[in-house]
Amino acid sequence: MLDQSSEIALVVIAVTGIMFLLVSTIIFFVFSYQKRYLKHKHELQALEQAFNQELLKSELEIKDQTMNNIAAEIHDHIGQLLSVIKLNLALNPDPALKDTKTLVAQVIKDIRGLAHSMHTDALSGKTIDELFSVEIERLKRATPLEIHYALKGEVQPLDNQTEVFLFRIFQECLNNILKHADAKNVFVELIYDLSLLTINIADDGNGFDSDKAKEGLGLRSINYRAKLIGADLHLNSSPGLGTRVSLVINTDKKILHGS
């Protein structure tokens, strides 16, 4: 039989031990609940991100398909009609039509250039330098922009899809400049350095606060395409000081990420 003191000691130790276990259980529960909750939240965020990426991918695919359709329509229909007009004009020896004939020939050339720059299949087999040069020439004729183009280093071939993506990013940047920047000059640089290709596109337009700017489809598609080909994208802009987009890609990279 235990005496009174031992009984008290036993009860105190037992109750304290039970309390300790109880509290430990509560703390463990809080810990594990929080952990599961965090995991669940991260999963939800990952799902949401994947959904947004998929949505953007679909938007871009639709955009590409639409551009392909328009390009085909321009090339096959409007191009054909213009060719017929050119033939008809050629049959007429009137010297007063000489300027018109020249203009029609120019329009046919421009229309074909536009159709080629829009159609993805027409871009394959060309280096990024060739694609940029053709597009810049086309834009110089069609817009009031002064585009200054510089190629530095020795051109290194990239895989076809990467070149198309880079070209689309370039087009999107120029499109943004035309739509929003109100710029007079655009400076495009293509720099090949060892295994790196750097593309700089800068303008002297309005610029914007890059921290506060809302990311529209244009900027999102630039980001998405850059991410897909594993390129580092840097965008610097501030109100009144123009915008500069830099894209750096490893020319040794062969695989598209995430596609």
Residues at the interface with another protein (CB under 8 A): 4-5, 8-9, 12-13, 15-16, 19-20, 22-24, 26-27, 30-31, 33-35, 37-38, 41
Please answer whether residues 200 and 186 qualify as being in contact, where contact means their C-beta atoms are separated by less than 8 angstroms: no
- In the complex with another protein, the residue whose CB is nearer, 26 or 50, is 26
CA distance 42 to 50: 12
> Do strands 196-203 and 243-250 pair parallel, antiparallel, or not at all (unpaired)?
antiparallel
Query: Least distance to another protein from the beta carbon of 7, Å?
Result: 10
In the chain, where does DSSP find H-type helix? Answer: 4-73, 79-91, 98-118, 120-123, 128-142, 160-176, 217-228
- In the complex with another protein, the residue whose CB is nearer, 6 or 143, is 6
- In the complex with another protein, the residue whose CB is nearer, 33 or 51, is 33
- In the complex with another protein, the residue whose CB is nearer, 14 or 50, is 14
Query: Least distance to another protein from the beta carbon of 49, Å?
Result: 17
- In the complex with another protein, the residue whose CB is nearer, 6 or 58, is 6
CA distance 225 to 231: 8
Query: Least distance to another protein from the beta carbon of 6, Å?
Result: 8
Q: And the tokens for 158?
A: 């990239």
DSSP string, 30-82: HHHHHHHHHHHHHHHHHHHHHHHHHHHHHHHHHHHHHHHHHHHHIIIIIHHHH
Q: And the tokens for 211?
A: 């921290």
Query: Least distance to another protein from the beta carbon of 154, Å?
Result: 45
Please answer whether residues 142 and 195 qualify as being in contact, where contact means their C-beta atoms are separated by less than 8 angstroms: no
Query: Least distance to another protein from the beta carbon of 4, Å?
Result: 6
Please answer whether residues 164 and 216 qualify as being in contact, where contact means their C-beta atoms are separated by less than 8 angstroms: no
- In the complex with another protein, the residue whose CB is nearer, 12 or 81, is 12
- In the complex with another protein, the residue whose CB is nearer, 13 or 150, is 13
**Vertex 128: Cα angle to 256 and 82 (nearest 5):** 115
